A and B are shown apart, each in its own frame.
Chain A
Amino acid sequence: MTLERFDVEAIRREFPVLHQEVHGKPLVYLDSAASCQKPQSVIDAIGRFYAHDYANIHRGLHSLSERATHQFEAVREKVRGFINASDVHEIVFVRGATEGINLVARSWGSRYLGPGDEVLLSAMEHHANIVPWQMICQERGARVRVIPMNDRGELELDRLAELVNDRTRLIGLVHVSNALGTVNDVRKVIEHAHGRGIPVLLDAAQSVPHSRVDVQELGCDFLVFSGHKTYGPTGCGVLYGRQILLEAMPPFQGGGDMIRSVSFEETTYNKSPWRFEAGTPDIAGFIGLGAAIDWIERVGIEAIGAHEADLLDHALSRLDEVPGMRKIGEARQRAGAISFTLDGIHPHDLGTILDREGIAVRVGHHCAQPIMRHFGVQATARASFAAYNTRADVDALIDGIHVVREFFGA
C-alpha cells in the first residue's frame, strides 16, 4: 500500500522520546497499546499552559481562571467533535477509561441494577471492564454473564440471542481487544441490544487511537477512552454518555465543582457533565488532550489507521517466518496489536532480551487473565503499533526474536 500523504519519518521527528538509544541500540517502541508516546505539540501545550494561563477552573473571577476555564471547556467541545457526540454535555472528563467504567458501574449501576439482574460482558474484556461490574453486581445481588469467544479470538455473537434475556440490564463490550487485537462487530451487538431496550457501554481505549469512532453512527450509549493511549497525557480520559442517561444518573464522587448548593442539611447537584467531575481535575492534562486531538486531526485518523494496518500485515507475515511462533488471537478483523508466544521461551525472558536489543514490547497477561486462560497460557508477548512505527521497527522485532531464540538455543 502506498501512503503518499503519510510521511512516517516526518511524524517520527515530532516525537522526541523516539530519538534515543536503549542499551546502546536505537529505541524501537512497540508498546503503544499500553501507553502511547507524545508529540512535541502536546508536550509544548502543557508547558505553555502552565507558563502562561494556569489557574483553577470554574471558580475564579480573575483573568487566569477565566482563561484556564475557557481553554479547558474548549477541549470538551473538541472531544465532542472528535467522537461526534451530539451535545457537549455528553462529554464527562475522567482520569481514564478505567475511571469512566467505574463511574458508569457505580452511578448507573446503583440506580438500575437489582437482585437477579444481569450485566453481559465479553470473554475478551480488560480487567477494567470486568472488575467494576463484579463489584457493583455483588453489591446489588446482580450477576455478570459472558459472551464467549472462539479459538481465533472472535466473539461468538450468534449466541447473543440466548445470552440476552429479560434480566439483561446492560452490555459492556471492548471495541478492540488490547490483548488480541480483535476488532469486535459492536454494531451487531448494539443493534441487538437496542432491539430489546438495553444500553451498551463500549470500551474504546484501543479503538479511538486507530480509527474514526463516531458515537452517533455506532449508536452506543456509553463509551470510554484514555488520553494517554491517544497521544495525550496521563491522567485524562473521556466518558461519553447519552444525555438522557447521564441526566438520570446520581453523582459518582462528592466534592467541589459537582454541586449547585451545599448546606449541612441538603446538597443539590450540578447538571451533567459537571455533576460527575468532583474536585480539581488534571486541568493541564486535558489541555494536552486537546493538543493531542489537534495532532490526530492534522495527521488524519484514517491515514494513521491505514499506516498501522500496513504494519500489522507486515508483522503478521514476518512472524510466520519464526519457528515455534504461536500467535494468540487470529481474528479476521484486527487492529493495533499482536500477541504471541514462542515455544520453550517464557514471555518474560523474551521481554528482557528484547529490551537489551532496544525493543520495547509488553509481556504479561495484559490485564486480561480470562483471555490468557482461554488460550491456556500464563502470559504472552505483545507488539503494538502507533503512527510513528515503521516497517523497520517490525523487522527489528523479528531480528530481536531471532536473537532470543539463539540465546536460549531454541
Chain B
Amino acid sequence: MEIKVRHLTHIYQPNTPFERLALDDVDFTIPSGAFVSIIGHTGSGKSTLIQHFNGLLKPTKGEVIVGDITIAAGAKNKDLKALRQRVGMVFQYPEHQLFEETVEKDICFGPLNFGVPLEEAKVRAREALELVGLPLSFLSRSPFDLSGGQMRRVAIAGVLALHPEVIILDEPTAGLDPRARRDILNLFARLHREKGITTVMVTHSMDDAARLSDEIIVMDHGRMVMKDRPEAVFTRTDLLRSLGLDIPEPMRFLQRLGARSGEVLSEPAFTVEQTAEIVTRFLNREGGPSWS
C-alpha cells in the first residue's frame, strides 16, 4: 500500500510556550511493497513523522495519503479506524503494552477490537504466533512470564494478527540482545519479502538500514534531507556526519584501511562478507603477495 506525504508540517503544542516545529514541509512517496528506513539524529522528527501514518498525529499543515485514505490538516477524519487496521504500528518497547492474562487473549485483542469474530481471531493468533517463531504452547501462557525478546515477539504477533498491509516499526530492536535482534530483523525482512508488506522502519542502526532497505529517508530538524537507495545515501559520508549520523561499520573500516594505504576504498559494503571480499581484492592488487 502506497504512502504519500504531501507538504506535511507538524507543530507540537501550538500557541503555547512549548510550541515546537517538529516537521517542516516534508514531502515524499513510499511505493507499495517497499522497505524504507528512516534515519536521523535524536529529535529529528522520525517518530513524529511515522505517527502520522496511522493517524495518531494529525498534520498541522499538508496531508498524508495511505492507499485511498487521506488524513488532511483541519479535516474531520472518519476513516481512522480503517486506517489503523491497515497500518500496523510496532512502537518502541511494544512489550510494555501487553496486558492480558494469556498470550492468546493479548494477540486477539486487536482483531476483536476491529470486529473480527472470536473464532477467526483465535485462528489469526495461531498464525501470528507461528510467524514470529514462537511455539503454539505459548498461547495459554501469561505474557509476563516470558523473556524480553519473547514478549516483544508476542506484541508483534498482536500487530500481525490485524493483517496489516503496512507495518511501521519504531526502533524494533532497541534493548534486545544480539540474537533476539537478528531474529526480529529477519522476521520483518521475511514478512516484507513473502507477503509484500510495505515496511517503514525508524532506526538508529546505519548497518540495519543499509542491509534491509530499498530506500532510506534521512531526516534532520524536522526536514527530509535525502531519500535514496542505501548505496547512494552512504556515499555521502560528510553530509551524514554533519547530521550526527554515520556510514555503516563495514564502510567505516574500509575508509580507515583506505586512509592508511592511500587508496580510496569507498565502494558500498554493508556486510562483513562483502568487506572481506573487498579486503582480499585490496591485498591482491599489484605490489603485494597473492592470497587466494
Q: Do A and B come from one complex?
A: no
Which residues in B have some Cβ–Cβ distance to A below 8 Å? Answer: none
